[in-house]
Structure 1
Amino acid sequence: MDLLIQKIIKEENISFEEVIAHIDVNYVFTPVAFKNGNQMNQIGENNGSCKIFSFALLHELNKEQTLKLFGKFYYDVLAKPEEQDHQNIRNFIKFGWDGVKFEKQALSLK
């Protein structure tokens, strides 16, 4: 089993940087447009979110597991719910997987 997935299942803290590094080492990333709630992300826009949501979909992670992949950015959103930053995280909290739609698959194993 993927070491990162094991950490997620064990509910260990994971940093955003660790997740992105893992994805970059193990997957081929193709930037794609995707919708997240009421936000449309164009090709090449918010690639970090694109990678994380794509990885989470591939591994069938639930909403909470997926949010934890954003590391400190997720906890920033929780600490400041009235702010307007990190819209992909805020929209995912609100809409969950029902709100995420990709034009095509962004990740494939190397």
Structure 2
Amino acid sequence: MSYETTISHFKERLNAQSSDVLFEEIIAIVDEHFDFTPTAFQNGELHNDVGQNSGSCKVFSVAQIIGLDEQQTLVSFGQYYRDDVLSNPEGEDHQNIRNFMKTGWAGIDFEQSPLQMKEH
């Protein structure tokens, strides 16, 4: 499937079938279409060192690239957002998701660009 088709289908799922989206789906998109460089990043008050929380780094980076809004980005975290964060609002797990819920895109700052499009 082409990059454009993959992104289009994923965005449709985010909007129409958000309760079925899995974290692994957006990671698969990144792994198929991008080269990833572990990168330090800031998420609100949370600092992530190089190589720390690489899954979140991938999600936030690709979400910026493909133009997801904050809600679509949260839904992209799939079961971690739905089952772990929303069902336990006072929890201490998944701090990148919880911080993003508070600060949104304004809180995200990458030390360098973590993703580069692969040449197919």
Matched, 1:37 2:44: yes
SS in 2 for 1:108: strand
In 2, Cα distance between the equivalents of 1:27 and 1:10?
25
From 4, 9, 14, give the equivalent of 2:10.
4
In 1, Cα distance between the equivalents of 2:91 and 2:13?
29
Q: Which amino acid aligns with 2:91?
A: E
State the Cα RMSD in Å. 1.3
SS in 2 for 1:35: strand
| Unpaired segments ≥5 residues, structure 2 | none
User: Relative to structure 1, is the Cα distance of residues 18 and 80 closer, same or farther in structure 2, using a 3 angstrom cutoff?
Assistant: same
After TM superposition, give the deviation of residue 19 of structure 1 in Å. Answer: 1.3
In 2, Cα distance between the equivalents of 1:4 and 1:89?
19
From 82, 86, 93, give the equivalent of 2:94.
86
After TM superposition, give the deviation of residue 26 of structure 1 in Å. Answer: 1.1
Q: What's the TM-score, normalizing by structure 2? A: 0.86
In 2, Cα distance between the equivalents of 1:71 and 1:104?
25
| Unpaired segments ≥5 residues, structure 1 | none
Q: Which structure's CA Rg is the greater one?
A: 2
SS in 2 for 1:72: helix
Task: Report 1:12-91 matches (<5 A).
Answer: 12=18, 13-75=20-82, 76-91=84-99
Q: What's the TM-score, normalizing by structure 1? A: 0.93
Q: Tell me the equivalent position of 1:98.
A: 106
Aligned length: 110
